[in-house]
Amino acid sequence: MEWILKFKMENELLDEKTFTDRLRAVGTKSYHHKHPFHVQMNEGKLQPEAVRGWVANRFYYQRNIPIKDAAIISNIPLREVRRMWLHRITDHDGTKGDEGGIEAWLRLAEACSMTRDEILDERHVLPGVRFSVDAYVNFARTKPWPVAISSSLTELFAPDLMATRLAAFEKFYTWVKPWGFDYFKRRVTQARTDSEEGLRLTIEYCNTRALQEEAVRALSFKCDVLWTMLDSIAAGYPVR
């Protein structure tokens, strides 16, 4: 009887609050706002070279976000869910001209006195950053779509980070032209909307205990991706 009870406990669906608390606990423990590089950034300790290095390497992540979301959509059999997720691609790519998150990040690079060409040709992208981002895209392409969606829930923790980052840039990095901060300002509100949407879908469609556990691991994996990116950037642009 003991093994039956253990099997039942291990496979019983978590209630919504417990599941949500498990997901949030991952970010509290592992989100990259605690990484030393981010701490140094927010304390104004980075040299211009390091800020530019972060901007250039983070762009590789930014330009792959819509590719990641397209991979997720390709695995979703439900039209109503595809419709919900589709805006994430246009949010980053835009639909015309100089709109969208990718374009906003390019303006940030220009505000840091970098050229669009040197960002777009990826000459500054470090191997560890490339490897981490590519692994994330592959994860989104190959995992069950509800699990892939759950990996995007780092957005739950992004608004506070964005607000802190914006304040730090405005206070400490006055050499960066302020018209480059549009991406940060936009994501403070956009990340809240996106995270609420992603959380609703995760709760609804991770509807077995196995999927719930995979979702928690997926979010942990995404935190590892972001942390590893910063490890590479910190090694490439050490604080002096």
pLDDT at 4 over 70: no
pLDDT (tens digit, 9 = 90+) per residue, 153-184? Answer: 999 998 888 899 999 999 999 999 999 999 99
Q: What's the rounded Cα separation, in Å, for the pair 35 and 57?
A: 16
Extents of the domains making up the chain? 16-235
Amino acid at 156: L
Report pTM. Answer: 0.92
Exposed, middle or buried: residue 197 (CB in 10 Å: 0-12, 13-18, 19+)?
A: middle
Long-range contacts of the stretch 183-186 (C-beta < 8 A, 24+): 183/101, 183/104, 183/105, 183/107, 183/108, 186/101, 186/104
Do residues 88 and 65 touch, judged by C-beta distance below 8 A?
Answer: yes
Phi, psi of 53 (to 5 degrees): -60, -40
Please compute the mean of the pLDDT values over residues 141-148 and round it to a whole number. 98
Q: Considering the chain, what percentage of its residues have pLDDT values greater than 70?
A: 96
Q: What's the rounded Cα separation, in Å, for the pair 237 and 240?
A: 9
pLDDT (tens digit, 9 = 90+) per residue, 186-198? Answer: 888 888 899 999 9
DSSP 3-state assignment of 47? coil
Residue 161 token pair: 């980070």
Record: fold of 16-235: Heme Oxygenase; Chain A (1.20.910)
Q: Find the Cα–Cα–Cα–Cα dihedral 160, 166, 168, 173, rounded to 10°.
A: 160
Q: What's the rounded Cα separation, in Å, for the pair 135 and 130?
A: 8
Residue 130 token pair: 């490339």
pLDDT at 5 over 60: no
